[in-house]
């Protein structure tokens, strides 16, 4: 049989054309034209299961805050011409991480960038958007892909945005005057919300379906955006994990504290001028190396790494760009966030963030026990009270948590860990829920993460390896993000870990789609998570501390319960309510 070489050539030519067309289409999918006319060129990635996705990394959302822009609100980025590569993470914002207990300063001052991840191909219908604000006490952390990547969440049809924002003194220095009113890190986040509103549609995201979620300081940031009028209309649902603005470390600094710390910072860097000439001091500070500014963070601690956050949000003087001008407890009008569906929760042993180090660094525990009355007010942020009031608060705490005395150790630490859990996290979340449920306009879903996994964040906070102390602060993050691949490289997830990860991803994504973590459209095998309508709250307990070989029946990974850690939360509410009547108004009910 004779071969028709002409036909073969035509077929080969056609195949080549099809291959080139497919390459062109794939390549074209990584090119996105921004509304202002410039282009972004992204990269291909795969989710955990191998699902294809697009990643646009290191996307600028504001002018680099350098030189004269240091200590100022972010400036919107002007349009650019032509193509811009967006294929790798930007540097983290310059920081010094106290939780690692080292002296390393890392990152760059030029750090206002975000990452966008989408499925590939993008479905025809616009997708819900999830914006992640990381934790780290507003002094460390980043939105980079190696920690907060899309590997798990992009198994589902969403658009994920993670962002860097300024930290420590570079992000939260305040003179309490118009020279430097403060909250620039929160204003960076606000700029991210504006960027998403204006640009996310070209990535396949729905600007009218935006869920903002965060953990620890990121969770507190979420509640600040639910409070600030500047964020109204830019978010439609919220998830606050282990943080609200009522947590003592997240509350605005008391009047005069921020200015005192700004003064101390300027003197540490030899920016001393006569009087209170803040403009001159700031000009001097803007000329200093960013590393030297960040290095002063450790000089703000009184003991160990406390107070935990030396540069928290502040109350700004009234001006056009102000993000926060009233203390959250003093806001008269109903916050716009009351009308937004909310998911909120804590881990069972949040306090391991602090007590893991106390239990494993003997010198630290010895000093803490021997100077308990002096140190506890610093650790729990009530040292702004007069000495007599501090002593009274300490006595109440001691009588409630340590009836048998200070006999806590590695094998008997629950009372100490509960104290830090409640003082730093549970009481603030409880107070936030009380006020929200008094005037609830939208559903509220509450959870307690209580799981024993293959790895624990207590290791990161100087806990011993291979010892389980409880469900530590930040523990749930490894079930939403591939953070464990960097932090726990030798840990092998258990079957329960994998099932819990699948469950939590569906809960979080369903909530981002519908404002309801349960699967609304069609059938689902998810347990029903009921919203709480009254106080005390009903909540979902997520996870299990039982090993599979301890029970014949696999434990349920979502169980509805009532009264979230209520006995302990009641203690803190009563303690706040019975502070002496002569407390200054700005201090009353604040620990």
CA separation, residue 216 to residues 140, 331, 444 (Å):
12, 23, 18
Separation of CA 583 from chain center: 32
CA separation, residue 491 to residues 20, 123, 182, 479 (Å):
43, 35, 41, 13
Separation of CA 432 from chain center: 17
Catalytic residue numbers, as ranges: 216, 350
Q: Where are the alpha helices (DSSP H) in 1-85?
A: 5-29
Interior/surface letters 322-342, b for 16+ CB within 10 angstroms, e for the rest: bbbebbbeeeeeebbbbebbb
Q: Residue 80 CB: number of other CB atoms within 10 A? A: 14
Greatest pairwise CA separation for the chain in angstroms: 107
Q: Specify whether the CB–CB gap between 251 and 312 falls below 8 A.
A: yes
- Count Cα neighbours of 337 within 13 Å in the Cβ-side half-sphere: 29
* Residue 119 φ/ψ region, left for φ over 0, alpha for ψ in the -120 to 50 degree band, beta for the rest: beta
Task: List the structure tokens of 4.
Answer: 């028709």
CA separation, residue 327 to residues 60, 148, 151, 244, 540 (Å):
32, 31, 38, 13, 31
Torsional sign, CA 193, 199, 202, 203? negative
Rounded Cα distance, 93 and 334, in Å: 34
Q: Specify whether the CB–CB gap between 214 and 134 falls below 8 A.
A: yes
- Identify any residues that bridge with 115 across adjacent strands, giving them in sequence order: 162
Q: What is the DSSP letter of 87?
A: B
């Amino acid at each position: 049989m004779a071969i028709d070489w002409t036909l073969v050539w035509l077929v080969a030519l056609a195949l080549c054309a099809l291959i080139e067309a497919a390459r062109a289409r794939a390549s074209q999918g990584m090119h996105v034209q921004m509304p202002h006319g410039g282009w972004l060129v992204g990269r291909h990635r795969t989710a955990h299961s191998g699902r294809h996705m697009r990643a646009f990394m290191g996307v600028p959302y504001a002018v680099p805050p350098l030189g004269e822009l240091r200590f100022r609100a972010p400036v919107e980025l002007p349009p650019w011409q032509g193509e811009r590569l967006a294929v790798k993470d930007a540097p983290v914002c310059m920081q010094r991480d106290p939780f690692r207990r080292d002296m390393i300063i890392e990152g760059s001052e030029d750090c206002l960038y975000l990452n966008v991840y989408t499925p590939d191909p993008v479905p025809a219908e616009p997708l819900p958007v999830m914006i992640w604000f990381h934790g780290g006490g507003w002094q460390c952390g980043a939105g980079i892909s190696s920690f907060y990547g899309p590997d798990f969440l992009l198994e589902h049809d969403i658009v994920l945005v993670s962002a860097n924002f300024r930290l420590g003194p570079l992000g939260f220095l305040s003179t309490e005057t118009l020279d430097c009113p403060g909250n620039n890190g929160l204003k960076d986040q606000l700029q991210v919300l504006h960027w998403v509103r204006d640009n996310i549609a070209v990535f396949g995201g729905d600007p009218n379906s935006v869920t903002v979620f965060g953990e620890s300081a990121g969770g507190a940031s979420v509640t600040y955006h639910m409070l600030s009028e500047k964020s109204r209309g830019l978010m439609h649902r919220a998830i606050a994990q282990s943080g609200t603005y009522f947590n003592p470390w997240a509350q605005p600094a008391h009047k005069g504290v921020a200015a005192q710390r700004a003064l101390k910072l300027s003197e540490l860097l030899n920016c001393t001028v006569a009087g209170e000439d803040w403009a001159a001091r700031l000009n001097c500070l803007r000329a200093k190396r960013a590393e030297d500014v960040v290095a002063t963070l450790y000089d703000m601690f009184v003991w160990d790494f406390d107070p935990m956050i030396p540069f928290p949000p502040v109350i700004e003087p009234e001006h056009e760009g102000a993000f926060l001008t009233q203390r959250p407890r003093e806001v008269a009008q109903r916050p716009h966030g009351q009308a937004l569906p909310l998911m909120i929760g804590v881990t069972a042993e949040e306090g391991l963030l602090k007590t893991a180090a106390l239990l494993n660094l003997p010198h630290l525990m010895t000093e803490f026990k021997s100077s308990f009355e002096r140190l506890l007010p610093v650790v729990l942020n009530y040292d702004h009270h007069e000495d007599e009031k501090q002593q009274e608060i300490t006595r109440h705490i001691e009588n409630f948590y340590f009836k048998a005395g200070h006999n806590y150790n590695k094998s008997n630490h629950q009372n100490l860990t509960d104290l830090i859990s409640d003082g730093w996290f549970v009481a603030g979340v409880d107070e936030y829920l009380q006020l929200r449920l008094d005037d609830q306009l939208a559903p509220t879903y509450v959870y307690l993460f209580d799981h024993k996994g293959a790895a624990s964040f207590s290791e990161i906070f100087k806990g011993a390896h291979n010892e389980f102390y409880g469900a530590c602060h930040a523990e749930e993050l490894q079930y939403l993000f591939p953070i464990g691949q960097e932090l726990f490289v030798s840990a092998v997830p258990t079957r329960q870990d994998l099932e819990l990860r699948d469950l939590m991803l569906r809960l979080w994504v369903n909530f981002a789609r519908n404002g309801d973590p349960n699967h609304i459209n069609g059938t689902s095998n998810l347990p029903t998570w009921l919203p709480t309508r009254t106080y005390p709250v009903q909540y979902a307990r997520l996870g299990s501390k039982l090993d599979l070989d301890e029970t014949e029946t696999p434990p349920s990974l979502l169980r509805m319960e009532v009264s979230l850690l209520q006995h302990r939360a009641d203690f803190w509410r009563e303690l706040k309510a019975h502070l002496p009547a002569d407390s200054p108004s700005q201090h009353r009910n604040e620990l």
